[in-house]
Amino acid sequence: MYGSNGIIGASDKKNAAAGTIVVGRVGTYCGSIYLAKTDCWVTDNAIKAVTKNDNDPRYIFFLLGTLGLNNLRAGSGQPLLNQQILSSIPVTAPTPLEQRAIAATLGALDDKIELNRKMNATLEAMARALFRDWFVDFGPTRAKMEARAPYLSPDLWPLFPARLDDDGKPEGWAEKPLDQIADFLNGLALQKFPAESDTDSLAVIKIAELRNGVTANSNRASRKVPPQYVVQDRDFLFSWSGSLLAKFWTGGEGALNQHLFKVTSDRYPAWFYSEWVQHHLDDFQVIAASKATTMGHIQRGHLKAAKTICPPDHVIARLGEVVAPLIARIVGNELASRTLAQTRDLLLPRLMSGEVRVAEAERLLETTI
């Protein structure tokens, strides 16, 4: 089910076929463009666009993305993009044959990005399954207590205690509050650090950027921001209000806005504390949703109430040899997808205008994909 800002849910009915282009019609992000890969339901907050004659849907999707539709919106209280505005935009397009060639070239980049996304979903599921079994369900310890056969490699199996203590956790392991295994640095009100130039400034990382990445609409801040509030690729960020999200940042250098934590630790590795934040995220979201305010949030007291189970340091280090590479691959795929998206966005207007021919673009992509 598509709304003005992409997929918003699911429906057992359909009113649009695969290949339909969905254009956001109302709201801040009106003019957003999506290409439906399956049959779907499009709400009245969006416009369904179907190509005429033999024009290629994927080409038209890319073409619409070059038009800056959000800048053509009408209204101030409730921004709106309507049929009249769309019908007034002049465009040129090559023959359907050339359209399909251009769409295939650009689509190869999108396909690789989608492949990385699916790969990351698998890697994340693997990391979460291992983490839950080891640190939440205490699977190896329970297996030893029940005299079941080892299901981990011989070098990992001895790391797990053979019994649970009186508190129900593996013997010799400690229970600690979440705020004791990591530091949670809250961001700044960055309007106090206005950008001094467009070329020498930092993107402001807000909740929207954490969800969708840095865009042309992102605010900018001065590089005079204190260094601890500068975000780099691979930093772990956690939004504690609004839409509670937690992820490793892969959007390039930026400045940490208020309502976001940068999570670090002098003792524990990133894979360990990030997985504990992810483990508690559902509970945090429930707490935030229960707040009787316009923007739900959690407080530092909730970090203290969230418990973690910590093995001895040498056990964490050894188990990290299994989990950390999974996390590293996830982050690496995200960074690769960012490069692919930048390449696509660089080629898009040049292919559309004919400045770059398909054959030339294909040669460039041989070294990218």
Are residues 202 and 221 in contact, defined by beta-carbon separation less than 8 angstroms?
Answer: yes
76 has pLDDT over 80: no
The answer to the question of residue 116 being in a domain is yes
Please list the residues that pair with 42 across neighbouring strands: 2
pLDDT, tens digit (0-9, with 9 covering 90-100), for 98-149: 999 999 999 999 999 999 999 999 999 999 999 999 999 999 999 999 999 9
Please list the residues that pair with 6 across neighbouring strands: 3
Same domain, 87 and 106: no
Using 50, 70 and 90 to split pLDDT, how confident is the model at 293?
Answer: low
The answer to the question of residue 171 being in a domain is no
The answer to the question of residue 170 being in a domain is no
Same domain, 200 and 273: yes
168 Rama class: left (phi>0) / alpha (psi -120 to 50) / beta: left
The answer to the question of residue 158 being in a domain is no
Same domain, 196 and 100: no
Same domain, 52 and 29: yes
Using 50, 70 and 90 to split pLDDT, how confident is the model at 279?
Answer: very high
Write down the pLDDT at residue 327.
97
Same domain, 145 and 201: no
Which residues contact residue 345 at a Cβ distance below 8 angstroms, ignoring those fewer than 6 apart?
none
Same domain, 188 and 283: yes
**End residue of a domain, out of 91, 111, 135:** 91
- Give pTM, 2 decimals: 0.86
Q: What is the C-alpha separation between 264 and 242, in angstroms, rounded?
A: 22
369 has pLDDT over 70: no
pLDDT, tens digit (0-9, with 9 covering 90-100), for 215-231: 877 899 999 999 999 99
Three-state secondary structure of 30-99: CCCEEECCCCECECCCEEEECCCCCCCHHHHHHHHCCCCHHHHCECCCCCECCHHHHHCCCCCCCCHHHH
Residue 38 domain boundaries: 1-91
The answer to the question of residue 194 being in a domain is yes
Number of domains in the chain: 3
Write down the pLDDT at residue 40.
96
The answer to the question of residue 320 being in a domain is yes
